[in-house]
Chains A and B, each alone.
Chain A
Amino acid sequence: MNTNENAAPILRARSLRHSFGQTDALRGIDLDVQAGEVLAVMGPSGSGKSTLLHCLAGVLVPDQGSVDYSPAGRAGTAISTLAEPRRARLRLTDFGFVFQFGQLLPELSAADNVSIPLLLSGTRRQDALRRSTEMLERLGLDGLGAKLPGELSGGQAQRVAVARAMVTSPAVLFADEPTGSLDSLASENVLTLMLELVREAGTTVVMITHDARTAAYADREVIVRDGVIAAGYRVSA
C-alpha cells in the first residue's frame, strides 16, 4: 500500500448532504481518501454509496458540504464548486470509471472503446490506438482489440472497461460494483488485474461493492448506512 496517512488526502469530503426529492441519500458524510489507497465502500441497497461516489467524482454537486481534490504536486481543487464543463474536464483527465455493465459503446471495437478518453484529450488516433492496444495486452486481452463488445465474454468486456478507465493514467479510479455482473472466477481475475495495474501506477481507487470478498482486496473499508458512514476500518495491516 502506498498511502501516507500524514499527507493531505487526495479526496476530502466534508459534511456531504444530498437529496433526491424527499429522499435523503447523504446525510452529512465526512471522508478522506489517501493518495494510492484502495478504498472499498460497502453498504446495503439504497444506503447512499453510489451517491457518495458520484459526489466524490464531481458527477453530482452535493446539496451541502464540500469535496476537495488535492493531487500530489498540484494545487487543490474544490470540486463541488466547479461548473459542469470544468468538472467534466477533470473527470476526463484525472479520473477513471468502471461500472457494473453496459458501459462499452456496442458499435465500437474493444480498441476503439479504450481509445475514446485519449481522443477526447486530443491524442492522435494512431497514438491512441497504439496505447489502447498496449493497455489491452496488459490486461490479457491480446488480439481482441478488433472485437465488438457483443463478441466478448462478460469478464473480457469488464477488462476492456478497466483498460479504458486506466488508459489515461488517472489519479483516481472510481469503480461502482466493477465485478457485480461476473461469476467468482471472472470477478477474481478482473480484480487482480485491475489492482495490479492501479498499484503499479499509484492510482487511488474508490470502489463500491456489496461483496465482502471484493472488499477484501481493498486497503480500507467504510460502510455506509442510511446516508452516513456507519463504520470504517482497515482491511489489511
Chain B
Amino acid sequence: MNPGLLKLAVVGSRSAYGRLAGIAGGVAVGVCLLLLLWGGANGLSARDDRGAWLRETGSPSVAAPRTDDPTSSGPATPVPLTEDTALMEANPVEVFRDQLINRRDVAALASTTVKIPGIGTPPEPGLYFASPALQRLIESTPGDELGNRFGTFAGTIDDAALPGPDSLVVVTGATETELRQNGRAFLVSDFTTNPYGGSAPAYRTVLSVGAIALFFPVLLLISIVTSLGAAQRRERFATLRLIGASPQIVSRIAAVETAIPSLVGAALGVALAIILRPVAAQIPVNGTRLFAADMTIGWAATTAVVAVMVAATALVAARRTAAAGVGPLGATRAVHEKTPTAWRSVPLLAGLATMITPVLMVRVLEVRLPWLESPLLILGFLLILVGLVVIGPWLTHLVSRVGLRHANSAAGVIAASRIHKTPMATFRSVSGLVIAVFVVSVFAGASSVFEATEAPPAQPGMLQPTSLYATLGAGAAPAQAAEAARQARELPGIPSATIGYGPAVLSDKDAGPEIYLRATDAPRLGFEDVPATATVAVDTSFLGSMQPLALTAAPAANLDDLVPVVIVLGTDGTPEAMDRARTALNVSGITAIPATSPLDLRLQSTGRLIQGLAVFAYLGMFVAIAIAGLSLAVATASAILDRKRILGLMRLMGMPVSVLRRIITREAAVPLLTVVLLSVGLGFLVAWLMVTFIDDTYQVTWPATDYFAALGLSLLLALGAVITPFTLVRAKTAVTATRFE
C-alpha cells in the first residue's frame, strides 16, 4: 500500500488524531484488563495449588469391625501409627476475631518419614509452625486471646505451602493420645496436590464462566472503541474512493489505520498491566491477597494477547468498512439497518436450553456424563452472553416502535426515530452495560447462597451469640470443670461460666436427651421463663438450635449424681473477650470439641467454593461495571461525533442544547432499560442453574443490599457515562465548529 495514501487517509486533522488517541486509549485499557484478569486467574490457580495440601483428608485412624465376618465384632480398633504415617486433625472452628484459622494438629513417631508441606518434619508436642501472617497476629495480640492456644513457636510455614501472604495457617504438635481421644484425627502419609477434590470440574466450570463473563465486556469495549468516529472516517474513505481507490484498498487502509493505534495502545496496556500488577495483587480474594509473582503470565502469552488484539481490531475495522459500502459519494449502507426480527431470540433460547440440559441430566434424570456437563454449561453461558447482545436490537426496535407512536416532543420523536431505524447502532452503545448487569446478577445470585447464612439473633431460649461453649470429654471431673469455670470467670470480659450436667458426656451412647442446669444459672444463658425448681433442664439440641427452646422443671435431678457435659462462657461481646474465652476453653484440657460460638456459623457453614464465588462476585461487579461505563461513555461520544453536523444544524435552527442532551440521554436510556430487566432475570436464572448444578441443596435467595448498590451504581455510571460527553454536544455542534452551506 502506498504510504502516502495511508497518510492521507489517517492524519490531517485534530479530530483524526483524537480518534486515533481514543482507539489507542481504549485498547490500552482493554489489554491491561485482559492481562490483569489472566494474571489474576493464574494467581488464583497457583494459590489453590499451594493450599491443596490443606484439603488432605487421609484415611480413618480407627478400623471398623468387618460386617461380613461374624467372628469380627466389637468396638472399632485404632489403626497403629507407623513411620510413614502421621495422625492429623483439622480444627474446624479455630477462630480469631472474624477470621478462620486453618489449624492442623499433628502427632507422629519420632522416626516419621512424613513431610508436611512448608514445614518438613512434623512439630513435636507443644510446638507449632505458623504462617507469617498468623505469627504476626500472634505477636501483636495478648497470649490469652490467641497465642496460648498453640504452644511454643517453632518456625514459620514456607510461602510455597501457603495460599497467599495473608493466609492464617498453623500446624501444632500433639501427642498421639491427645489426637486419638475424640476420634476426629485421620492418618496421612502424603498430601494431595488436587486443590478441589471431587468438585474440581464444577470449580473449573465456575472459573471458566467467570473468565468469560469478564472477558466479554472487555471485547465489547474494544469493539466500541475501534468504531470511534466511524462516520468521519467514512467521509475520508469516500474521498479516496472518489479519486480511484478500490474498496479493497480502502478496507486495507481501514485495517492499517486501526492496527497502528491498536499496537500503540496494546503496548501501553502491557506497560500498565506491569505497573498495576502489584496493586492488583493487594486485592484480598477469599481472605488473602495474592502473591504478585503468581500473577505473571509470561512474555509468550503477553505477545499472543497483543498480536491477537491488534489482528482482531484490524480485521474488525476492515470488515466494518467493507460492510458500510463506502462509495465515491459516501457510505451507502450506514443508515439503513436491516430491521431486526424474532430470529434474534434464537441464540439466547439456545443458550438457555444448553445450560438447562446438564442441570436436568444431573438433578432430574440423575444421569452423569462429566465430559459433557461442564462444556454444555460453559457453551450455554457463552450463548446467553452472545444472545443478549443479539436479542437487544430486536427488543429495542419493538419498544422504540411503541415509543415513536407516543412521542410528543422533539427529543422524543428524534430519539425514538433513530432508535427505531438504527436499533443495532443504538443498542451497541449500551450492550456493555447490559452485559455488566447480567454478569453482576449472575455473581450476586450465586453469592446469595453464601449470604443467606446469617448469624442467629440474640433472643430468649437460644444460646446467646456472644457466648462460647465446649462439650466436655469423658475424663473431665466435676472439680476440674468447676476450676476451669472459676478461672474463666476471672478473665476480663467473661462475666459468667455455666456448667451443664447429664448422665454421661454427650459423645457417649448413654448420654441423655437433656442438659441439666442450676436454675440460678439459667438467666445467664438467656432464659427468661425459669421454672421455680432448683434444677431445670433443656434439650441437648439447645447448643446448636436456631429456634428458641423452653426450660422444663427437673425437681428430681440431683446434679451431684450427674457428670459435667458442657461449659458455656458468657462474654461482654467484645472481640477480645470472645477470643479470651475461646482460648481459655481450648487450653483447659477438659473439652471434647474446640470452643464454638453461634457467630462461628457465618464463617464455616458454607463451602469454600461458594465463599470464593462471593468474593469473585464483587470483583466481577467492579470490573464489569467499570468497563461498561467506559464503553457507554465512548459510544455516546462516538454517537455525538458521528452526527455533529446534523446536530449542529439543529442547534443553528434554534434547537436548545438541552433538547440535544435529552436526545442523547433517551438514545441510551431506551435500549438500556428495555434489556436491563431481561439481564437481571437471566442473571439470577443462570446463577440458580449453576448453583443447582454444583449442589442442589444450595438455595439462591434474594441478594444482599450490595447487589442493589451495584445495580444502582451501574445505572448511576450509565447516567455519568452519558452526561460526561455532554460537553462534546456544546463544543462539537457549535456553529463555529461546523460550516453549513
Contacts and interface: CB of A to CB of B under 8 A. Distances in A.
A91 interface: yes
A100 B646 contact: no
A95 interface: yes
Contacts of A100: 741
A90 interface: yes
Interface in B412-427: 413-414, 417-418, 420-422
B653 A91 contact: yes
B14 interface: no
Contacts of B652: 59, 91, 97
B407 interface: yes
A108 B417 contact: yes
Contacts of A177: 741
B335 A150 contact: yes
Given A88-B655, A88-B656, A108 B741 contact: no
B654 A92 contact: yes
A141 interface: no
A210 to B, nearest CB: 10
Contact of A54 (B414, B651, B735): B735
Interface stretch (A75-83, A117-125, A197-205, A212-220): A117-125
B654 A95 contact: yes
A177 B740 CA distance: 10
Interface string B469-493: 0000000000000000000000000
Interface in B695-741: 735-736, 739-741
A148 B421 contact: yes
B645 interface: yes
Contacts of B421: 106-107, 148
Contacts of B72: none
A140 to B, nearest CB: 23
A37 interface: no
Contacts of A108: 413-414, 417
Nearest to A49: B741
Contacts of B336: 150
Nearest to A58: B654
A92 B653 contact: yes
Contact of A115 (B413, B418, B653): B413
Contacts of A148: 421
A125 B413 contact: yes
A102 B646 contact: yes
B649 interface: yes
A11 to B, nearest CB: 17
A96 to B, nearest CB: 8
B608 to A, nearest CB: 53
A143 interface: no
A60 B651 contact: no
Nearest to B735: A59
Interface in B615-658: 645-646, 649-656
B740 A60 contact: no
Interface in B322-376: 335-336
A226 B410 CA distance: 40
B740 A99 contact: yes
Interface in A146-203: 148, 150, 176-177, 180
Contact of B420 (A106, A107, A116): A107
A125 B413 CA distance: 9
Contacts of A103: 646, 649, 740
A125 B653 CA distance: 19
A14 interface: no
Given A103-B649, A107-B335, A176-B740, A117 B654 contact: yes
Given A89-B654, A105-B417, A116 B410 contact: yes
B409 interface: yes
Nearest to A99: B740
Interface residues of A, number: 36
B659 interface: yes
Nearest to B736: A60
A126 B168 CA distance: 72
Contacts of B659: 120
B408 interface: yes
B678 to A, nearest CB: 25
B741 A88 contact: no
Interface in B179-193: none
Contact of B739 (A50, A91, A117): A50
> Which of B336, B654, B655, B736 has its CB near the most chain A CB atoms (within 10 A)?
B654
Q: How large is the interface on B (under 10, 10 to 19, 20 to 34, 35 or more residues)?
A: 20 to 34
B654 A107 contact: no
Contact of B418 (A54, A95, A107, A109): A107
A68 interface: no
Contacts of A50: 739-741
Contacts of B335: 106-107, 150
Contact of A90 (B414, B645, B654, B740): B654
A112 interface: yes
A120 B654 contact: yes
A63 to B, nearest CB: 12
B429 to A, nearest CB: 15
B339 to A, nearest CB: 13
> Which of B335, B410, B735 has its CB near the most chain A CB atoms (within 10 A)?
B410
A3 interface: no
A93 interface: yes
Contacts of A180: 741
A93 B659 CA distance: 16
Contacts of B651: 88
A91 to B, nearest CB: 4
Contacts of A115: 413
Nearest to A119: B410
Given A102-B645, A106-B335, A107-B421, A117 B741 contact: no
Contact of A92 (B409, B420, B646, B655): B655
Contacts of B417: 105, 107-109, 112
Interface in B528-579: none
A120 B646 contact: no
Nearest to A150: B335
A91 B407 CA distance: 24
Contacts of A116: 410, 413-414, 650, 655
A95 to B, nearest CB: 7
Nearest to B649: A103
B484 to A, nearest CB: 82
A106 B330 CA distance: 14
A130 B709 CA distance: 47
A50 B408 CA distance: 34
Given A102-B646, A108-B414, A115-B413, A93 B654 contact: yes
Contacts of A105: 414, 417-418, 646, 650
A89 B651 CA distance: 10
Contact of B654 (A91, A102, A125, A176): A91
Nearest to B418: A107
Nearest to A103: B649
Contacts of B414: 105, 107-108, 116
B331 to A, nearest CB: 11
A142 B219 CA distance: 48
A120 B741 contact: no
A73 interface: no
Contact of A124 (B408, B650, B735, B739): B408
A105 B411 CA distance: 12
Nearest to A50: B741
B735 to A, nearest CB: 5
Interface of A: 50, 54, 59-60, 85, 88-93, 95, 97, 99-100, 102-103, 105-109, 112, 115-117, 119-120, 124-125, 148, 150, 176-177, 180, 208
- Leading 8 A-B pairs by shortest Cβ distance: A92-B654, A91-B654, A107-B421, A119-B410, A107-B418, A107-B417, A108-B417, A120-B410
Given A92-B655, A119-B409, 4 more contacts: A54-B735, A116-B650, A120-B410, A120-B654
12 contacts: A50-B740, A54-B735, A88-B656, A89-B654, A97-B740, A103-B646, A105-B418, A107-B417, A108-B413, A116-B413, A125-B407, A177-B741
